[in-house]
Structure formats: structure tokens, C-alpha cells
Amino acid sequence: MRIALAQLNATVGDLQGNQRKILSALKDAQQQGADIIVFPELVVCGYPPEDLLHKKYFIQHNLQSIKEIARAVKDIVAIIGFVDSDRRKHLYNAAALIHDGQIKSVYHKHELPNYGVFDEKRYFKSGTQLQIFMVGGYRLGVNICEDIWVNQSVYDQQVKVGIDLLINLSSSPYNIGKPAARQKILKERAQKGSCFLACCNLVGGQDELVFDGCSLILSPQGKKIGQGRFCQEDMIVLDLDLSQKKKKYSRLSQSQRQLICSEFSQQSKPALSQTKRESMTAIERMYYAIVLGTRDYIHKNGFEKVVLGLSGGIDSSLVAAIAVDAIGAENVVGVTMPSCFTSKGTRSDAGVLAGNLNMRLIEIPIEQMRKSYSVALKDEFAGLKEDITEENIQARIRGNILMALSNKFGWLVLTTGNKSETAVGYCTLYGDMSGGFAVIKDLLKTKVYALAHFFNQRHRKAMIPQSIIDRPPTAELRQGQTDQDSLPPYAVLDQILTGYVEQHKSLDQLVRQGLDRNIVRRVIELVDLSEYKRRQAPPGVRITSRAFGKDWRLPITNRYRYKK
């Protein structure tokens, strides 16, 4: 049996575009002589469609699309994710099994994830049926994403009655360590079921999520025999020798046994060229996941160019590098907006960086604007000392300038704040937080350095100048300011944030890790008090198991303060 996995980059809501991609992959697989082709979960409408699912006409269009696709399926079995609807208008996260122009059967996902970034119980009903699909004389089990992760799920029923091949349609988002975790669980499932296992995963960015692909085909021994690319569209075509192992099968009832196609077409199969996939380090994956998430947010939202403030610091330098990798240097504009607090060093570094990246740099000094605010507020602020107010005004002028360029030229503004800052609120609402996409929002400062290092290493050159990497981080909003005046060293801060934010650890647990109680208490307080800022932040690529996005739903009004 020749199997194809179509690891596509679908776009939420783009029923026509997704349909075109599906039809093109179908054609390609048929030309390569595939007997069966598998697509990702909900590929017809994109994932996650969220409240689009509440629109009845959206469901209808999606059903129309899967019917049109079915008509194009000839001598191949296609398994395609879509939204099914029953007579009572209940919705199901479903897979259509199509052959010979017809939808022969439909599987409904059993296990609906409703945690982290997932809200599937908000929309779907769970499937309840055990169905085994007969394809060319073989027994096929089909399930969807979460179904294969959960213990005592439909997967166990499927392997208990006995199947030759298990097919899993996924839209499983990336986070650090996720591709390895996915591979581990799939390997266990193949071995436990003594069956071939093929998992086709979505690829692409969707708001804060990045789907990384890495589709997999495993032997009944759990050996990896095929793998899709990381964070790129891909098509994997492989021959599986399903006859190699004799199993015990349970008998199936009429309703459990569903015939999809009795035999495969006898067309001649062209030889397959096996492509070797290179493996990547964790840092590389992080980097390319952010690149893909950024590129897809820009392009899928109809933008061509982006603009960002280049401060001469490490954060904006890394964001510029990522943007250039995502959409090309010719589409990235940097703006340097010096004030009287801007050092010569940062100013010239921004220029060197832009030169290295071959991107355009605009300079717009903010001194006169800053003064005009001082004059306007003179009476109200008479007799009061300068404080964070004046610092924020500078940040907000810069935000306004970037937005003005965005408004005038249609460029998307990228923000450059990292996760450490976002966590403790070391950022200005409507200032440096102004923009459409927050590229490194989920990257702790210590990881920012790691990715900058990787970028330079890849180019075998200090593309991001060493002076930028070496300079103590500073917002340059007052004379001689550095981040460490207000915050603990980033190595310490990031350790606390990893524990408190990503793992929900308590103050006591963090102190038991060896961290200073007063510092931990202060950081926790800052995180708790900054919720209102994060609520108004733009989306950005999620790369950890808990980002400040859909997987972080803390109330703003929250008097819980655990102090001891």
C-alpha cells in the first residue's frame, strides 16, 4: 500500500484557498501512485476556527467544500479533516473517508481537548462510535489528534479489535519539546497496537500558534520510516508492507465495519525518491518556528512589509533578523528614534545592524515631540518630579511614529518585547507595546541571547554586532538607565518566570529551589500586577508550553496575593 501524507499549510477561514491546496495535493499523490492520502485535522477550514464555528453559514460552506473535494477523488482513498454537522446541528471535529467521488464514511473525534490553548468542548460534541474502515482488504483505524494522546480512549478500542494501519489527523501546535514528545507517544502507540501508524500534522502560523508539521510514519515496531519537514509544507509518500505481520482480529459488527474500497487500483506505481530530512537542534527549531509564525501572520493578514523600531538593543536586533528571514530584507524597514538619552553606541549599532541585514533604516529624532509634551503638561505637572511618566511619553511618541508610518504606508508594526519584560510589565502600553505582532513575546531574555548567537553562527559573522550582545540591557529612557536597576539579573528573573508562569509554582517552591524569597516575591507581584498590560498586548508566536495567550487566562481584577 502506498500512502501519502499531505502536510499542508491551511489558513483559517480560507475555504477556497484550502480547497485548492487539497486538490493540488490529491493530484500530486495520484501521480505518485498513492493508494491513500491523509490530510491534517480540520484542513478544510483551518485550525482553530474558533467562533467562526458559531456561524451556521460557515459550517455550510465547509460542508459544500468537502463535497466538492470528494468529487475530485478518484482512484485513491482520501482522509480529510472537516467540520461535520448532524441533523440537530451539533458539530463534530471530523474526518471524511472518501473514495470514487463519494464520502463513504465519517469519523467523529472522541477526545476534545479543552485546556491550554484548546477550547474544543466549546464547539464540538464528542464522537462515540468505534468504526474500523476496510481499505483494499486491510483494516484501518482513523482517529484525530487528542484521540491518540489520551489513555483509555478510542485508540485502545481500535487496537483491541485489531487494525493494520492507524491513521491520525492532527493539528498539533509547536512548543519547545513538542515534536519529540509527539514522536515518543506515537512510537508507543504503534508498538502497543502492533500496527503501522501514520500521523499527518498541520503546518503554519495562526495568530499565536505555530503548527510545525513533522508528520510521521512508524512501523509496528515503532521505527520511524517517514517524517515530514519541520515548519514547512511537505508531502511524504511511502510504501507500507501491511502483509508483513499477522495479527489476531476481533470480529466486527455491521456498524463497526465500514467498507471504503474493496481493492486498490492496479495502476503502475512510479518509483519513489526518498528524501532525507536533516534533524535540527532545539534552538534552531525555536528560531524557525518563530520565523514561520511571523511570516504567516504577516502574509495571511494581507501585509507585504513590516516596520519596527531599532533601538540598538538585542531584542529589536533579533526581531529584525527574524523578520528578514521571514519576508526578505527588502520588506523590512527599521526606524531609529533617538532622544537625548540615546547613546552614540546604540545609535551606530542600529546602523551597523541594518547594514548587515541589508534593510532600510529611517531616522526620526523624537526630541522636539518630547519637548512639546513637556510644554503641554507644564501647568498640570508644575512642582512635580520627573518619573516614569516622562519615560513613558518617550516610548509612546516612538509608538505613535511607528503607527504613523504603518498608517501611511500600510506596513505592519512588529513589536520587540520579550517574555521576561512582558511578564513583569517592563514595557509601555501604547509605547513599545504598540504594534500588530509581538514576534518574541514568548521568548525569555536568556533565550533571546541564545537565538541571536544562533543567528550569528549560522551566518558565520557578527550580523548582530557583538557590541549589541555585550551591552548591558537598557531602555534608554533616562540618563544611565539599565534594566538591572529595576529588575534582578535576567538569569535569575528567567528562572523565576519559568517556575511561576510556565509551571504555576508557588513562592515557597521557588524558594526551595534556592531562589531569594524577597526577589521571588517582588517578581511574582510584578507579574500579577501587569495582567492589565498583557491583556492589551498584540499576539505573538507561542513557543513554550505556557505563553501569554490563550493558555494564560488570569483575571485582571484579582486580589489574590500570596505573601509570606
| Residue 375 binds a copy of itself (CB under 8 A) | yes
Q: Give the CA count within 13 Å in the CB-facing half-sphere of 421.
A: 24
Cβ pair 226, 186 in contact under 8 A = no
DSSP-assigned states of every residue in 247-314: -------TTTEEEEESS------PPPPP-PPPP--HHHHHHHHHHHHHHHHHHHTT---EEEE--SSH
Binding mask of the shown chain, residues 222 to 261, with x at each position contacting a copy of itself by CB under 8 A: ----------------------------------------
Burial (0-12, 13-18, 19+ Cβ within 10 Å), 181: middle
DSSP-assigned states of every residue in 47-60: S--GGGGG-HHHHH
Q: Which amino acid is at 103?
A: I
Which of residues 134, 498, 522, 552 is near a copy of itself by CB under 8 A? 552
Binding mask of the shown chain, residues 489 to 508, with x at each position contacting a copy of itself by CB under 8 A: ---------------x-x-x
Q: Which residues pair with 96 in a beta bridge?
A: 80, 106
Specify the stretch interacting with a copy of itself by CB under 8 A; choose among 92-100, 149-157, 400-408, 483-491: 400-408
Given the residues 45, 111, 145, 199, the one annotated as active site: 145
Which of residues 397, 424, 468, 477 is near a copy of itself by CB under 8 A? 397
Between the alpha carbon of residue 378 and those of residues 370, 372, 388, 400, 462, the distances in Å are 12, 10, 16, 21, 45
Name which of 28 and 119 has its Cβ closer to a copy of itself. Answer: 119
Gap between the Cα atoms of 274 and 256, Å rounded: 36
Q: Give the CA count within 13 Å in the CB-facing half-sphere of 368.
A: 3
41 is catalytic: yes
Cβ pair 146, 123 in contact under 8 A = no
Tell me how far, at minimum, the Cβ of 315 lies from a copy of itself, in Å. 20
Name which of 397 and 448 has its Cβ closer to a copy of itself. Answer: 397
Closest CA to 446 of 495, 486, 378: 495
Given the residues 104, 109, 178, 419, the one annotated as active site: 109
Name which of 514 and 555 has its Cβ closer to a copy of itself. Answer: 555
| Residue 362 binds a copy of itself (CB under 8 A) | yes
Specify the stretch interacting with a copy of itself by CB under 8 A; choose among 21-29, 154-162, 187-195, 405-413: 405-413
Tell me how far, at minimum, the Cβ of 562 lies from a copy of itself, in Å. 6
Other Cβ atoms closer than 10 A to 235: 18
Name which of 300 and 447 has its Cβ closer to a copy of itself. Answer: 300
Binding mask of the shown chain, residues 437 to 466, with x at each position contacting a copy of itself by CB under 8 A: ------------------------------
Closest CA to 112 of 38, 31, 53: 53
Tell me how far, at minimum, the Cβ of 560 lies from a copy of itself, in Å. 3
Closest CA to 386 of 341, 424, 342, 439: 341
| Residue 486 binds a copy of itself (CB under 8 A) | no
| Residue 54 binds a copy of itself (CB under 8 A) | yes
Binding mask of the shown chain, residues 278 to 297, with x at each position contacting a copy of itself by CB under 8 A: ------------------xx
Distance of CA 445 to the CA centre of its chain: 19
Gap between the Cα atoms of 395 and 434, Å rounded: 9
| Residue 404 binds a copy of itself (CB under 8 A) | yes
Specify the stretch interacting with a copy of itself by CB under 8 A; choose among 184-192, 262-270, 376-384, 444-452: 376-384
| Residue 562 binds a copy of itself (CB under 8 A) | yes
Gap between the Cα atoms of 126 and 108, Å rounded: 7
Which of residues 28, 32, 50, 516 is near a copy of itself by CB under 8 A? 50
| Residue 20 binds a copy of itself (CB under 8 A) | no
- Site for a copy of itself, residues 158 to 217, rule: CB under 8 A: 205-207
Name which of 389 and 466 has its Cβ closer to a copy of itself. Answer: 389
| Residue 417 binds a copy of itself (CB under 8 A) | no
Which of residues 90, 259, 430, 484 is near a copy of itself by CB under 8 A? 430
- Site for a copy of itself, residues 318 to 347, rule: CB under 8 A: none
Closest CA to 130 of 138, 120, 139: 139
Cell 509551571 belongs to residue: 503
| Residue 365 binds a copy of itself (CB under 8 A) | yes
Name which of 248 and 559 has its Cβ closer to a copy of itself. Answer: 559
> Could you list the active site residues?
41, 109, 145
